[in-house]
């Protein structure tokens, strides 16, 4: 089968490898759609500190079960499935505290840019779902990033009518924006690229603001809130430390800031300490997602909470993966997808 491997920064190779053998609790899935992700772009541009190259590439996909291990329950060959990329162990210190995204034995499944994917048992049991006939593989492939946005939004104390700022209109920022709209919030989305803000406007947000060329993004944003008081909730979805810093200054007194976008390692966040004391703001970071939010994301996809066409623009073949990644990296699309024979 064909599989994309990352040999180094900016060195994707499509190699021919044997179809993976599966263990008794595992499942082999024939890939139908894999979607590009901001994380894939980052890994392509900067490398990935946690893995020694060459390593399998990609983590968002959906497909059809080709084969199941002897001990697999609830799935059979031919099932169309949405598959998440991780699963916690359920028994470590953090899992026992319900902090599943901090699990010290989190199983990762990498290598979704491939004709077949072997799904570890931990993921089969916790984070794999049979798709209803009405769900497309493109939509199902959005489950992983969407589950991260679902987890993030659940950490935000958003009430109906709240003013919510989402900084960053990439795929995750747009998903946050959509979920905040569904919660009845007045949502403002900021970004530097007009095409991405246009995508935000299709999701029913109250307004968008292009920060390109603005000297003081914090003041510009606060000016749009009642009495310039700032937002009830600010969500950071760019992964840029300057935006983390600015986000902390966009919240109202007593407001809430969710810092979601992963920054470069070694980034340092400086925050005016008086904001935490006298302005009593809450700053929270979250990472990834957890099984409850994956199943909720799957349900929301089934209910049509987001439309795949708002998130996935162009289709590529696996051999043209690099072009799909580069187009994503340039911000010309929200996401691209790879399709298979
Ligand atoms: Zn992703
Ligand atoms: Zn654990």
| Beta-carbon contacts of residue 281 (< 8 Å; ≥ 6 apart) | 248, 251, 253, 254, 255, 256, 257, 275
Helix/strand number for the chain, H first, E second: 13, 18
Distances (CA, A) of 279 to 99, 219, 230, 249: 28, 17, 11, 10
Q: Under CATH, to which class is 156-285 assigned?
A: alpha beta
Q: Do domains 2-147+289-339 and 156-285 have the same CATH topology?
A: no
Q: What are phi and psi of 312, to 5 degrees?
A: -115, 120
Kindly give the distance from the C-alpha atom of residue 288 to the centroid of ligand 2, in angstroms, as a whole number.
14
**Is residue 93 exposed (0-12), middle (13-18) or buried (19+ Cβ within 10 Å)?**
exposed
Kindly give the distance from the C-alpha atom of residue 109 to the centroid of ligand 2, in angstroms, as a whole number.
16
Distances (CA, A) of 11 to 1, 55, 56, 326, 328: 19, 11, 12, 12, 16
**3-state helix, strand and coil shares in percent for the chain, rounded to the nearest 5:** 30, 25, 40
Neighbours of ion ligand 1 (CB under 5 A): 37, 60, 145
Kindly give the distance from the C-alpha atom of residue 82 to the centroid of ligand 1, in angstroms, as a whole number.
14
Kindly give the distance from the C-alpha atom of residue 60 to the centroid of ligand 1, in angstroms, as a whole number.
6
- Ligand with minimal distance to 148 CA: 1
Contact status, residue 28 vs residue 65, Cβ threshold 8 Å: yes
CATH dotted code for 2-147+289-339 = 3.90.180.10
For 44, left (φ over 0), alpha (ψ -120 to 50), or beta? alpha
The domains of the chain are located at 2-147+289-339, 156-285
What is the number of other CB atoms lying within 10 angstroms of the CB of residue 161?
Answer: 10
Kindly give the distance from the C-alpha atom of residue 290 to the centroid of ligand 2, in angstroms, as a whole number.
11
Cα atoms in the 13 Å half-sphere on the side-chain side of 311: 28
First to last CA, the chain: 12
Kindly give the distance from the C-alpha atom of residue 104 to the centroid of ligand 2, in angstroms, as a whole number.
5
Tell me the pLDDT of the chain (341 aa) as tens digits: 999 999 999 999 999 999 999 999 999 999 999 999 999 999 999 888 778 889 999 999 999 999 999 999 999 999 999 999 999 999 999 999 999 999 999 999 999 999 999 999 999 999 999 999 999 999 999 999 999 999 999 999 999 999 999 999 999 999 999 999 999 999 999 999 999 999 999 999 999 999 999 999 999 999 999 999 999 999 999 999 999 999 999 999 999 999 999 998 899 999 999 999 999 999 999 999 999 999 999 999 999 999 999 999 999 999 999 999 999 999 999 999 999 98
Please report where in the chains the tokens 């902090």 appear, as a residue.
Answer: 99
């Amino acid at each position: 089968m064909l599989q994309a491997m990352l040999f180094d920064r900016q060195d994707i190779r499509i190699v021919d490898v044997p179809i993976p053998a599966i263990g008794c609790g595992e499942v082999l899935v024939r890939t139908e759609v894999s979607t590009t992700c901001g994380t894939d772009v980052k890994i392509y541009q900067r490398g990935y500190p946690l893995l020694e190259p060459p390593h399998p590439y990609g983590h968002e996909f959906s497909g059809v079960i080709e084969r199941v291990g002897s001990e697999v329950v609830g799935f059979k060959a031919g099932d169309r499935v949405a598959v998440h990329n991780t699963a916690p162990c359920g028994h470590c210190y953090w899992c026992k505290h319900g902090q599943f995204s901090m699990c010290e034995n989190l199983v990762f499944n990498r290598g979704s840019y491939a004709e077949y994917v072997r799904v570890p048992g931990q993921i089969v049991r916790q984070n794999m779902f049979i798709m209803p006939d009405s769900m497309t593989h493109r939509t199902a492939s959005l489950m992983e990033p969407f589950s991260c946005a679902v987890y993030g939004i659940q950490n935000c104390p958003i009430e109906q009518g709240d003013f919510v700022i989402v900084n960053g209109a990439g795929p995750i920022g747009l998903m946050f924006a959509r979920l905040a709209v569904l919660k009845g919030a007045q949502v403002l989305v900021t970004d530097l690229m007009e095409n991405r803000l246009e995508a935000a406007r299709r999701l029913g947000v109250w307004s968008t603001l292009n920060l390109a060329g603005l000297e003081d993004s914090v003041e510009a944003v606060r000016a749009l809130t009642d009495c310039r008081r700032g937002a009830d909730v600010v969500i950071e979805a760019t992964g840029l430390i300057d935006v983390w810093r600015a986000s902390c200054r966009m919240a109202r007194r007593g407001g809430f800031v969710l810092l979601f976008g992963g920054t470069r390692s070694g980034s340092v966040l400086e925050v005016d300490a008086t904001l935490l004391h006298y302005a009593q703001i809450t700053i929270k970071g979250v990472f990834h997602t957890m099984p409850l939010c994956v199943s909720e994301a799957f349900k929301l996809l089934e209910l049509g909470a987001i439309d795949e066409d708002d998130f996935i623009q162009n289709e590529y073949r696996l051999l043209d993966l690099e072009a799909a990644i580069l187009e994503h990296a340039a911000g010309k699309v929200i996401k691209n997808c790879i399709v298979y024979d």
